[in-house]
Amino acid sequence: MEGTQMSPEEMEQRRNMVLQMCVCPSCPSWVECGEKGGYCFPTIGKSGCITEEKGCTCPGCPATAKMGLKHTYFCTKGSEMEQSSA
């Protein structure tokens, strides 16, 4: 998904889809600071608040499955593309 070119409208639709499916607030690593989650989405990126990895719900997230993502801890390590190029 991240390597394909999408229009700004398609990107916004995909971002909204990710946020609707997001399970980040139920994660043990979650820190309440006004963020909405969706850290797996490249235009959202890492959390500005979460610094400690206390467990990860990414593998069970519907957004992770829908987008075919393989990595975890998007909140601290960045998007699939960021982690794949590291």
Pick the closest to residue 28 from 51, 57, 48, 49 (CA basis): 57
Q: pLDDT per position in the chain (86 positions), as tens?
A: 445 678 999 999 999 999 999 999 999 999 999 999 999 999 999 999 999 999 999 999 999 999 999 999 999 999 998 999 87
Give the global pTM.
0.87
Phi-psi region of 79 (alpha: psi -120 to 50; beta: other; left: phi over 0): beta
Q: How many CB atoms lie within 10 A of CB 42?
A: 17
